[in-house]
Structure 1
Amino acid sequence: MSQTVNDRRPSSLQGATLPKWSPYAIAAGSIALGLGISAAAGLDSKIQWGLMAAVFFVAASYGIAAKVEGKRQAKDRVATSLVWVAFLLAVIPLVSLIWETVKRGVKVLDVYFLTHSMGLVTDTEPGGGIYHAILGTLEQVGIATVISVPIGILTAIYLVEYGRGRLAQAVTFFVDVMTGIPSIVAGLFVLSFWIIILDMGYSGFAGAMALTILMLPVIVRSTEEMLKLVPNELREASLALGVPKWRTITKVVLPTSIGGITTGVMLAIARITGETAPVLLLVWGSTFINTDPFDGPQASLPMYIYQQYANSGGSGAAYDRAWAAALTLIAFVMILNLAARGIARWKAPKTGR
């Protein structure tokens, strides 16, 4: 009869483990070491000591983990450290940008600034506002959205539901090419065709056509991907019941993917809202309120920011107005992104228990 012996020795697979607070301690030590070396060497740039601290953090994470936990676990710690360093390198500039814009933009951002135009106010004088620029941006982006959304969605439906052969391949190829077209090229195309050849003149509608060219590939691609996510079983079940294909698309496929399609449209709108090059070429800009996008130059927020900063000399009332307009534009794009996320969550498929 054998006797069971309880071995209370620790398993060979279980070694020493660093405490949970060790990454924070290593990070604090790396920052202190980077600051100390920067101070001793007389380095004034925050980027230099930040990069040194990042290098020290990765090296210390590997060295300490290799000493305590072994080389295999140390490699995992290094990979995690590199992910955190890359995350901070991406987030810190964004946070710095937003902080700088908010700090400088709130100086003149008030109700008066949002409800008045520049009118007869010169660039060196205080006062004035961005009402005419907000109105122009809304009209130009609105026209571009009205044109591009139905065309983009119908093109995506064709590619997913009907597209076969060379025509579908050609459409896919040109959509891919349009995705990488710089905004200045779209502006030059509309300038040569609409203004130079047809002699239609500068207007908000001309700028909207260039924005449409930039919106279309984004909408087509996002809608196409959302339609591909719809299970084929839903299509087959509808067709098996005798429902025509066009009705299956409108009653089954589109309602199922409407959340993702709406999100793609909202992100496309946010992408073109800050475009400056097409507006600079085709709309020109104006200090007065122009509610007719089809006649005469019209202001827009990107153009307003460019003009105010170019005429400010780096200080003065125009400089403050440029930052306030930039803050308004960031807030507008942020609202669109939040709306897109809300719609996507609202229209997301509900799973039962």
Structure 2
Amino acid sequence: MEEPPVEAWCFDLLLFYRSLGDDDPQAKKMLAELEAYERFSFVVNGLITCLLVSFGLIGNALFVYQLHNKSNHFSRRLAKHLTALCIWDIALLCCCLCSYGIICMCLGILPFVGVTAYLLYLFQPFASFCVTGTIWQVLAITIERHKAVSRPLEQRTRKGQFSLRSIFSCIVFGAFALNFLAVPFERALIDCYEFRSNGFEVRTMIVQRELVNNQYYAILSHLIPDLIFRAPTPIVIIAILTVRTLQIASAQRTVGHQQIIPQRQRALGRNVHLMLTFFSIKFIICNTLYLFNTILMEVMGYGGKTSSQQTELEMEQYISSLYLTDFSNMLLAIHSATNWLIFYKWPECKEKKVKRFATSLTLSASSRADWLRGSAPIDSTSAEQALNKFRELKK
């Protein structure tokens, strides 16, 4: 038999278990579980992801257009922060679409060979880069809102604020260093072979390096940075500052019983604080599973071994890790696709305005009718008596 041109075999679990036939009961069981996951992946990673990406891209584009053309609901500085947040969400949704959305719609299970290997090598770190950027962007918004409420006079001066360009640059460079610098040490693109009827075909496959399986490296390079820079530390800071901002804003609205902030300004500020509060809660819910999955897989090594010589327990852990990863990715996609709904200013319904106008006309007409019904004409005798009394008083 001809020797393979390279050492590595192109990893394909479905093909491996199908090649074992029906004689091996363990292989038959694993094949059934993989085929069930293939259907699940088509729905979640393929269909739902593509729908979420379409919805999120359209919504974020509409919100950015509203921020810069038709809305005075937010200050100019906050509008720029929200624009940056939309850019992070759009970038993350594009990563989801390019790295697994379209591929799972076509193939079901995400392969690790061919063009997909290059896409995963590029877009998976870029997706983590976008998640980190989103977290820090929300943290920057929350800090600025807190300072604007607690120190309003200082924040109105240029010296009391960092430039937006500096903030955005720090977020981009920090997120890049956190997510991209370790990629060459953790992943590699290697040549692998596939069996063909006329021999072998050499393709490209993405694999993890041995360094990733080192628990000390996983703790130092993933767990500790995630706890400090992704969750829960930034989330706790966001929650504390949001609650503190609401308390300060509530205390500043009144002095005794006298309102000192105009009604419209007070309503807008309160709405922004509530929006950011709801956004923080939504962010915590959608990112908790991602953090749990990171700890379980990268630190504890759950489901990390992917070879054709796995034991039954390791194979079950690997399939379970696929489900966990897909659910966490879906929650991140939901979060990025729906953030704009929190801040978008929906137009008032015209029918409500028409009904309000018709109601006012009806009330005014009924009040006039009541006034006319309450007034009675004066008879001639009463008018003559009133005129005589007026003449006597005039004399």
Q: TM (normalized to structure 2)? A: 0.29
Larger of the two Rg values belongs to structure = 2
